[in-house]
Amino acid sequence: MAGSVAYLSTIMYRMSSNTMASSSSSNQKVAVVTGSSTGIGYETSLILARNGFLTYATMRNLNKSESIESIITKENLPIHIKQLDVTDDTSVKNAVEAISSETGRIDLLVNNAGYGLNGAFEDLAMDEIKAQYETNLFGLIRTTQAVLPIMRRQKSGTVINISSGVGRFGLPGSSAYVSTKFAVEGLSESMSYELEPFGIKVVLVEPGVIKTNFVDGMVIARKSQDPKSPYSQIIQKMVTGLEEMMKNGSSPDLVAKVVLNAAINENPSLRYLAGNDVEQLLESKRMMPDEEFYKMMKQNLMM
If DSSP states are collapsed to H, E and C, what string results for the chain? CHHHHHHHHHHHHHHCHHHHCCCCCCCCCEEEECCCCCHHHHHHHHHHHHCCCEEEEEECCHHHCHHHHHHHHHHCCCEEEEECCCCCHHHHHHHHHHHHHHHCCCCEEEECCCCCEECCHHHCCHHHHHHHHHHHHHHHHHHHHHHHHHHHHHCCEEEEEECCHHHCCCCCCCHHHHHHHHHHHHHHHHHHHHHHHHCEEEEEEEECCECCCCCCCCEECCHHHCCCCCCHHHHHHHHHHHHHHHHCCECHHHHHHHHHHHHHCCCCCCEEEECHHHHHHHHHHHHCCHHHHHHHHHHHHHC
Query: Of 177, 193, 272, 294, which one is the catalytic site residue?
Result: 177
| Active-site residue flag, 133 | no
Active site residues per annotation: 177
